[in-house]
Amino acid sequence: MEIVQLSDIHVGSQFREETFQKVIDEINSLKPDVVVITGDLTNEGLIEQYEKCK
């Protein structure tokens, strides 16, 4: 079983969507069975920030 774990994405003012997309592409290329995201998803907890996490 292949597991990928990400932590503390911190979507906010310093977040770069294009960089995060590269991370997603790399993870997808690994074809993991499970992807787990732990830690903080956003900086301020704003709805707009959570939307970017989808």
* pLDDT bracket for residue 5 (50, 70, 90): very high
Residues sharing a CB contact under 8 Å with residue 31, sequence separation 6 or more, in sequence order: 2
* pLDDT bracket for residue 13 (50, 70, 90): confident
Domain edges within the chain: 3-52
Digit-coded pLDDT (tens) for 24-52 = 999 999 999 999 999 999 999 999 999 98
Residue type, 6: L
User: CA of 1: how far to CAs of 31, 32, 47, 52, in Å?
Assistant: 10, 8, 33, 28
Q: pLDDT value at position 21?
A: 93
Q: pLDDT value at position 53?
A: 82
